[in-house]
Amino acid sequence: MWGGRFAGGPSAIMREINASIPFDKALWRQDILASQAHVAMLAAQKIVSAEDAETISIGLDRIASEYEADGVPEDWDLEDIHMTTESRLTELVGPAAGRLHTARSRNDQVATDFKMWVRDAMDAADAALERLQRALVTRAGEHADSVMPGFTHLQTAQPVTLGHHLMAYYEMTRRDRSRFADARARLNQSPLGSAALAGTGFPIDRDMTAEALGFDGPTQNSLDAVSDRDFAMDYLMAAAQCSLHLSRLAEEMVTWASQLFGFIRLPDALSTGSSIMPQKKNPDAAELVRGHAGRIVGATTALMVTMKGLPLAYSKDMQDDKPPVFEAAGLLDLSLAAMASMVEDTAFNTDRMRAAAERGYATATDLADWLVTEADIPFREAHHITGEAVRLAETQGKALDALELADLKAIDERIDERVYSALSVDASVAARASYGGTAPEQVRQRVAEARQSLGMEN
Ligand code: ARG
C-alpha cells in the first residue's frame, strides 16, 4: 500500500511488531460502515464517479459477508483491518478500489472506526447495567422488611434491611449509567474527513458522513480528531469505576456465602466444586468478578500511560490503544452478566441474617437514643450507660432485649420497661425513617421510584 517510496521490504520483525490485524480485526463492521459512508459521500460530491462508487459499495458488501461467514484473514503483510479490507477490495473490483482512499487516511479512518466500536461498547454496558438494576430493585422489593446486620469496619453496627443494602448498589449503578451516558455524548463527533492530520483539499462533505454514521456532527479540529483517544479513556474510566462497584458486591457475596456468615446460598449455576473436598461449593464467579476489576483498572492505566506525552498528531504508539479497550470491554460484559444472574438467583437466608443482627448488640444505639428521648439524658452519658448494658449482656451471654429490667435499672434507675420496645431489631429499622434511611417504608418508596424510572410495573 505504501511500497512506492521503498527499495526494500520490511524485515520479519518489522512486519510482526507493526501488525495490528490480530486484534483490530474486531473493528471490521465499523470499518466497512465507515467506508460505505465515505464512498457514498465521495460520489455525492462528484469526487468519484457514481459507477466507481457503486462498484466499491458492492465490493464492500461482499467483503462484509465474507468476514461474517469465514472471519477476517490475518496477513501480517497487510498490517491492519483497513489495509486487509482495501486489498481484498482490489482483488474483487480491480483498480476502482484505489479510489476509496481518496480524501481519507488510515488516521481518521481508525479514529472513526474505534469511536464507533467504543460507542457500541458504551451502549452494551448501559443495557447490561439496566438488567442488573432490574434484578437489584426486584430483590430489594422482596426484602424491604428483611432485617440484617449493617456493618462498619465489618463489625455489626446497626440493623438495616436487606432491601436497603441492595438499593445501595442500585445507586452505584445509576451513577455508572450516567457516566457512560456522559462519555457517549462527548464521544459523538465524527473524525472522518480529518484525513492524515491537516484535513483535505478535496471538496468533501463531513456532515454527510457524520450523519450517516450516527454522529451528532463532525469534529472541529483535524489535529485533535486524529490524535484524540479521550473517548476510549472515558469509556475505560467509566468501566473501571463500574467494575469497582461490581467487585464490592462480589466481595459481599463471597463473604455472605461463607459458612461463617451463611447469609446466602449462591446459585449452583454460578459456583464450582472442589476436586478434593467434596463438601465445597466455591463462589468462583464472584471471585472472578472481583479479580476482573483489577484487570479493567490495569487496562485503564495502560492506555493513559500510552497516551501520556504523545505529540500531535497521530503516533504509532496509538495502535496500542485497542487491546486494553477490547480486553476491558469483554471483562466488563462478563462481570455485569455474572452479577445480574447472581442477584437474580441468590437465595437469601433471612433467618440467619436476622439472628446475626440480634446477636451483635446491633440495637445499642437504639438504647442510647431511647435514653435521650424518653429519659432526657444527654447523648454522651446515654452512650456510656449503654456501653455498660452491652458489657453486662456480654457477660451474661444474652441479647440486649433479654436483659432483666432489674439489671438494667441497676445500671441506671431511669430505665423502665418501655425500653424493650426500642430494643428489637424491627423497631430499630422502623425508627430509621429519615429520607434515604433503612426503614422498610423508606426502602419501599425508593424501590417504587426506581421501578418507575426503569419502566417496571409497580
Ligand atoms: N493500524 C493503525 C492503528 O491502529 C492504523 C493507523 C495507521 N496510521 C499510520 N499513519 N500508520 O493505529
Amino acid at 253: M
Q: Rounded distance, CA 427 to CA 401, Å? A: 12
Nearest to 240 by CA among 166, 320, 302, 165: 302
pLDDT for position 277: 82
pLDDT over 90 percentage in the chain: 90
SS3 157: strand
Strand partners, 217: 189
Q: Give the Å distance between the CA of 44 and the centre of ligand 1.
A: 27
Averaged pLDDT of the chain: 96
Q: Give the Å distance between the CA of 84 and the centre of ligand 1.
A: 13
Cis preceding-peptide flag for 355 (omega within 30 of 0): no
Buried b (16+ CB within 10 A) or exposed e, 292-326: bbebbbebbebbeebbeeeeebbeeebbebbbbbb
Nearest to 337 by CA among 372, 285, 415, 399: 285
Lowest average pLDDT, out of 6-10, 12-16, 246-250, 336-340, goes to 6-10
With contact defined as beta carbons under 8 Å apart, do 316 and 337 qualify? Answer: no
pLDDT for position 272: 86
pLDDT for position 279: 81
**Residue 247: pLDDT band by 50, 70, 90 thresholds?**
very high
Instruction: Please work out whether the CB of residue 31 comes within 6 Å of at least one atom of ligand 1.
Output: no
pLDDT for position 457: 92
pLDDT for position 8: 83
Instruction: Please work out whether the CB of residue 20 comes within 6 Å of at least one atom of ligand 1.
Output: yes
Would you say residue 292 has pLDDT above 90?
Answer: yes
What phi and psi, each to the nearest 5 degrees, are found at residue 241?
Answer: -65, -40
pLDDT over 70 percentage in the chain: 100
- DSSP state, residue 275: S
Would you say residue 7 has pLDDT above 90?
Answer: no
Q: Give the Å distance between the CA of 81 and the centre of ligand 1.
A: 10
**Residue 241: pLDDT band by 50, 70, 90 thresholds?**
very high
Q: Rounded distance, CA 256 to CA 353, Å? A: 10
C-alpha angle 140-141-143 in degrees, rounded to nearest 5: 65
Instruction: Please work out whether the CB of residue 84 comes within 6 Å of at least one atom of ligand 1.
Output: no
What phi and psi, each to the nearest 5 degrees, are found at residue 9?
Answer: -85, 170
Report the run of H or E that residue 148 belongs to, with start and end: strand 147-152
Catalytic residue check, 153: yes
| pTM higher than 0.85 | yes
Q: Give the Å distance between the CA of 106 and the centre of ligand 1.
A: 6
pLDDT for position 206: 98
Report the run of H or E that residue 161 belongs to, with start and end: strand 155-161
Would you say residue 69 has pLDDT above 90?
Answer: yes
pLDDT for position 430: 96
- Closest residue by Cα to atom 10, ligand 1, is 107
Instruction: Please work out whether the CB of residue 314 comes within 6 Å of at least one atom of ligand 1.
Output: yes
The residue from 49, 178, 274, 315 that is catalytic is 274
Closest atom of ligand 1 relative to the 81 alpha carbon: 1
- DSSP state, residue 270: G
Catalytic residue check, 87: no
pLDDT for position 189: 98
With contact defined as beta carbons under 8 Å apart, do 303 and 233 qualify? Answer: yes
| Number of residues assigned to the chain | 458
Would you say residue 1 has pLDDT above 80?
Answer: no
With contact defined as beta carbons under 8 Å apart, do 362 and 159 qualify? Answer: yes
pLDDT tens figures, 32-54: 999 999 999 999 999 999 999 99
Instruction: Please work out whether the CB of residue 318 comes within 6 Å of at least one atom of ligand 1.
Output: yes
Report the run of H or E that residue 156 belongs to, with start and end: strand 155-161
pLDDT for position 174: 98
Lowest average pLDDT, out of 189-198, 271-280, 420-429, goes to 271-280
Q: Give the Å distance between the CA of 79 and the centre of ligand 1.
A: 9
